[in-house]
Amino acid sequence: MTARTRKPRALTLKDAFETEFARREMERRAREEAERRQQEQDLASAQALYEAVRADADFLKARALGADLRRYTVSLDHKAYRIAAYFEAGKASVTLSDKRTASPGSTAPRKQETVESVEDALGVMAQFLADETR
């Protein structure tokens, strides 16, 4: 007796669709997971910067500064200016905004620098602060 071999089943549109749909779903899940991990890293960086900024309460008080953390943004507020660092995609955008020349609630950035680390963000915030207290 000879072994019977089955004839391979022909690929159908339904099979091709289900394969493509599953591939896209896996890619979507991978993108969402990567985005979630990046957001966690950005949030951890913002929290680390906030802890470094508020480590010396007397220093902040002596310069009439308030420190604030809002999700991915750490800000130093003075009655005349705001220095803020916003973390996104593994980088921080540090801005200096002048409150004296802007309408209330809308401080326009006067200086901006993008940095790669918490330490660099802290350094740029210190530079901007020194610029404002000369």
pLDDT in tens, 41-73: 999 999 999 999 999 999 999 999 999 999 999
- The predicted-structure confidence for 12-28, as pLDDT tens digits, reads as follows 999 999 999 999 999 99
Any idea where the domains of the chain sit in the sequence?
A: 41-132
| Block residue for tokens 């006067």 | 110
pLDDT of residue 99: 81
- The predicted-structure confidence for 70-111, as pLDDT tens digits, reads as follows 999 999 999 999 999 999 999 999 999 988 775 655 556 788
Largest CA distance in the chain: 99
pTM, two decimal places: 0.78
